[in-house]
Amino acid sequence: MDERIQREKQRLRRSLRKVAENLPEDYIARSDLDIQKNLLTLELWTHANVVFIYVSIGQEPQTRGIIRAALDAGKTVAVPRSLADGYLEARVIASLDNVKPGRFDIPEPDETTPVLPPDDIDLVIVPCIAADKQGYRLGHGGGYYDRYLAQVHCTTVCLCRERLLKTALPRDAFDIPVDIIVTEREYFHTR
């Protein structure tokens, strides 16, 4: 792991979190609705029967409406549960009532919900603080999603506010790009 890149990522995380915290509330509300609309109109969303999606926190694009839309459409929905060793597992939920604040105060299901193997997933939706146009994301720094993305063989999508979309982000050998970035203005394939 390149120490210089890790320091640069930490510096960017601090800086971009401040940017996100200072985004106008009306911009956040509009972008949440438009990101959701852009995702739900994608053909890959329509054809995905099993979706793995995070439950948003803080200034991340809101996912609760997306989760409800997936459940209403009869899709199998799994959300992440973090494990002590830095890994995630996908746990199937029947409603948002199945998630409660867990590790790091991130909403997650408890250990009684069914585990979904990575090979059973059709679409993975991952969070970011920021993303770049090549599909690399700046996450929260734990490496959980990069470890998980290394296990999946389906389409991966990152939801990113346009104001946090960068031309390029620092990356190292462990960073795994997503296939599609969805913003409030557009969606585009990264590879």
What secondary structure does DSSP assign to 101-156, as a single string? E-GGG-EEE-TTSPEE-GGG-SEEEE--SEEETTS-EE-SSS-HHHHHHTT--SEE
Question: What local confidence, expressed as pLDDT, does residue 142 receive?
Answer: 87
Predicted TM-score (pTM) above 0.85? yes
Question: What local confidence, expressed as pLDDT, does residue 179 receive?
Answer: 97
Read off the amino acid at residue 7: R
Arithmetic mean of pLDDT, 163-172: 95
Show the tokens assigned to 124: 């993975």
Q: What is the CA radius of gyration of the chain?
A: 16
What is the distance between the alpha carbons of residues 91 and 76, in angstroms, rounded to a whole number? 10
We find that the CATH architecture of domain 3-189 is: 3-Layer(aba) Sandwich (3.40)
Average pLDDT score over the chain: 95
Arithmetic mean of pLDDT, 164-178: 94
Arithmetic mean of pLDDT, 109-119: 95
